[in-house]
Amino acid sequence: MNKNISENIRTIREMKNLTRKFVASEMDMSISGYGKIERGEIDLTISKLSKIASVFGVSLNDLLFLDISYFFNKSYNKSSNHDYVDNNIKKHDFIFGQL
């Protein structure tokens, strides 16, 4: 599996404060089987990816293309800091449906 996708899966799970045990249970699989997904050791079908996105409450697009570095981008200047923060908050709220 694409390493970025497995990293996105782990990162989103952690950001949502979900345990591997909970996600594995929701997916009707073992914890060790789910761990293989996060480590990128198995290839996933679209239906399995859709199920993970559903458990996380995010879109499949967010799961596949999330770039976590977007939230930690340090290459901005003080004059644009307000816009940088606003854009990151909007992106976070869109992905995690908080507003």
Q: pLDDT tens-digit profile of 10-65?
A: 999 999 999 999 999 999 999 999 999 999 999 999 999 999 999 999 999 888 88
DSSP 55: H
Please give the DSSP secondary-structure letter assigned to residue 88.
Answer: H
Q: Could you tell me the pTM of the whole model?
A: 0.68
Mean pLDDT of the region 4-12: 92
Half-sphere exposure of 46 (CA within 13 A, CB side): 1
pLDDT of residue 93: 52
Look at residue 65 in the predicted model and tell me its pLDDT: 86
